[in-house]
Amino acid sequence: MAPTVLSTPEDYQKLVDSVDTFLLDCDGVLYHGPKVVEGVKTVLNHLRASGKKVIFVTNNATKSRRKLQEALNKLELDAQLEECFGSAYASAVYLSQVLKFPKDKKVYVFGEEGLEEELDAVGIAHSGGTDPEDRDFKPPVDYASFKPDDSVGAVLCGFDSWINYKKIAKAVTYLRSNPECKLILTNTDATYPTHGSLFPGSGSLSIPIVNATKRTPIVIGKPNTTMMDAIIADHKFDPSRALMVGDNLSTDIEFGLNSGVRTLLVMGGVTPREAVFGDNPSHVVPDLVMESFGDLAILAKDKA
């Protein structure tokens, strides 16, 4: 079944009237690199003024909500802390509210400051991460130092530009020694785009741990339903009155479809037009398509 294409003010108004919660991917929907999509600032202000809930949903695990808010507000998008929901915070919420992580356990962090800040926010103890003991590793390897730590109840893996053998070995030791220890990945993105190219992402960095332990990890980020479970646990909205807006079929749109939330694909991002309207389209079909999320700005102008 082909998606419904929205192109008129009437289409846009009908859509906005049917949605209470807008789940918005960031890069490709709100901005392209350092440039905000035309009309997006007006759209966000209009939705908020109309009583709509706006939630910025990103797989970026290096940024805490505070850092995501700062990044969005450098672009003058007036983001509020409660509107920000990255995979770092989603992981912390999933641990605390969905898994009910034990208070006497701690998380070993294979990641950076954003993960640690969000675990602190929900009161979960942690080790690893930015600890100089793990970051400042230099060979030779002292294998005798890799001993089980029974207090570690989960290993949480995100993007870690300080990746080294010691961090991998510690994570593997904790998981292999304790069958009850959870392996959680913030996301499985193989790459991430920056500086005009693609570089290894969180999913690529966690592969050594997954392979060495033969564990099936819990994956938090889009397109997994665990991310939606965390968002709903934190924001408590009706999924039938929500809309996932994104530019990526395999993450944003599949995320909404997997979670039973309507989806809107905006063009001009990573999804080529032929993947939606070509002779051999993608098997992932959004509910709705429009050229740009900024096109909704016409609704604010009509009311001005």
Residues placed in the known binding site for Mg(2+):
25, 27, 247
Q: Looking at residue 2, what DSSP letter applies?
A: P
Q: What separation in angstroms does the CA of 108 have from each of 141, 183, 185, 285?
A: 20, 10, 12, 38
Rounded to an integer, what distance in angstroms lies between the CA atom of residue 17 and that of residue 13?
6
Contact 203, 181 (CB under 8 A): no
For 44, phi then psi, to 5°, come to -60, -45
Cis omega (within 30 of 0) for bond into 132: no
Rounded to an integer, what distance in angstroms lies between the CA atom of residue 260 and that of residue 283?
17
Question: Would you please indicate which residues are annotated as catalytic (active-site) residues?
Answer: 25, 27
Contact 236, 195 (CB under 8 A): no
Q: How far is Cα of residue 302 from the mean position of the Cα atoms in its chain?
A: 34
Give the closest residue to 182 by CA, choosing from 124, 123, 141, 112.
Answer: 124
For 50, phi then psi, to 5°, come to -90, 5
Query: Residue 210 has which token pair?
Result: 């997954």
Q: Show the 3-state SS of 133-151.
A: HHHCCCCCCCHHHCCCCCC
